[in-house]
Amino acid sequence: MNAVTTSAYRQQSLNFSCEGQTLQAVLTLPSAPATSPGDLGVLVVVGGPQYRAGSHRQFTLLARELARQGFPVLRFDHRGMGDSSGPLHDFKQITPDIGTAIEAFQSAHPGLRRVVIWGLCDAASAALMYWQRSRDPRIAGLCLLNPWVRSEASLAKATVKHYYLDRLKQPEFWKKLLSGRVAGAALRDLIGNLRRARGAGAGTRAAASMNFQQEMALAWTELKSPLLLILSGRDLTAKEFLEHAQADAAWQGLLQAPHVTRTDFPEADHTFSNAQARDQVAQATAAWLCVKVNSSAAQVSARS
C-alpha cells in the first residue's frame, strides 16, 4: 500500500474485490484533526471514459481539497476501468462496485458511518440508481453534476434548441446559407433532429430506452437525504437533463424539492476543465457538506 503525507492530507492506495475482480482505489484523509464530524466521507464514482484521477485531475484535486476541510474521500476505478480488472461495465451495471467501494471505505476508515456519493455525468446517474436499488442507509446525500439522461430523442431536442436555434440567430449562418457554403448534409441533419425531437413529444420512444431515466426519477423522488445538483452552463448534457426534467411527467417538480440544492456555473464546461470552475465545484461541495448534510444529520439525531 503506497502512502503520501502532507501537512494538509494523507493519501494511500488500496484495492478490494468486487464479484471476483480487483478494483483499485485511492483514499485521501485529513492530516489534521477533523474539524467536521469524522463519520462522514465522500465516495467519488467515476463515469464515462475516465479513471479515478478524473479529467484534468479533477477528482484528485477535489479529494485533496475536501480532505483539507476535514472530509475523507475515496475515489476508485470500477470494473474494467483504469487499473481495475475485468470487462468494462457501463454506468447501469456498477451498483455492486459502488457497494463494495463503500465497504472498503469503511474498512480503511473505521470511524466512517455516513457516505455522500459524488458523481459527474453518468456517474451521477449511477449514484441515483445505486440508492434506488440498495436503499443503503449509509448514504447521507448525493452530489450530482450534469446528470446523464440521454436518449436519441433527448439529444435531438437539446441539439435543436441549444445549437441550431442559436445558429439561426447568427447573421454569418445566413450568409453561408445564401452563398451555398452551408452543406446540404448540415440541413439534412437539422431536419433529422427536428423529426427525432418531435418523436419525443409524440411518445414514440421505446419503453426500454427510458428504464434508467425512470429509475433515476424514482430515486430522486424517494430520497430524503440532501441532494446537491451542479450544472454547467456550457454543456449539452446539462441542457439535456434540464429539458428532460421539464418535459417528462416523472420529473415534474423534482428540481424544486426541499431536499435539493441547485448550483449553476454558467461559464463552466462539462468537466469543469479550467481552474476557476474546478475550484468553485470543490468549494460548493464542501459548503454543502458542512451546511446541508451535517445539519440534516443533526436534525435526524435530535428527533430520535
State the Cα–Cα distance between residues 114 and 21, nearest whole angstrom: 25
137, 251: one domain: yes
Same domain flag for 99 and 30: yes
- Is 221 found in the same domain as 73? yes
For 120, the 3-state DSSP assignment is strand
- Higher-confidence residue of 178 and 127: namely 127
Residue 109 shares a structural domain with residue 58: yes
Same domain? For 131 and 172 the reply is no
pLDDT in tens, 270-284: 999 999 999 999 999
The CATH code of the domain that includes 56 is: 3.40.50.1820
Q: Which pLDDT tens digit goes with each residue over 80-112?
A: 999 999 999 999 999 999 999 999 999 999 999
Task: Look at residues 140, 174, 201 and tell me which one is the last residue of a structural domain.
Answer: 201
DSSP notation for 177-213:
HHHT-S-HHHHHHHHHHHHHHHHHHTT-S-GGGGHHH
Residues 54 and 159 in one domain: no
Are residue 75 and residue 23 in the same domain, yes or no? yes
Tell me the pLDDT of the chain averaged across its residues. Answer: 85
The last residue of one of the domains, among 167, 201, 235, is 201
Structurally, how many domains does the chain consist of?
A: 2
Judge residue 164's burial from the number of C-beta atoms within 10 Å of its C-beta, 0-12 exposed, 13-18 middle, 19 or more buried: middle
* Pair (44, 130) in one structural domain: yes
**Grid coordinates in use for 202?**
409524440
Domain around 182 = 153-201
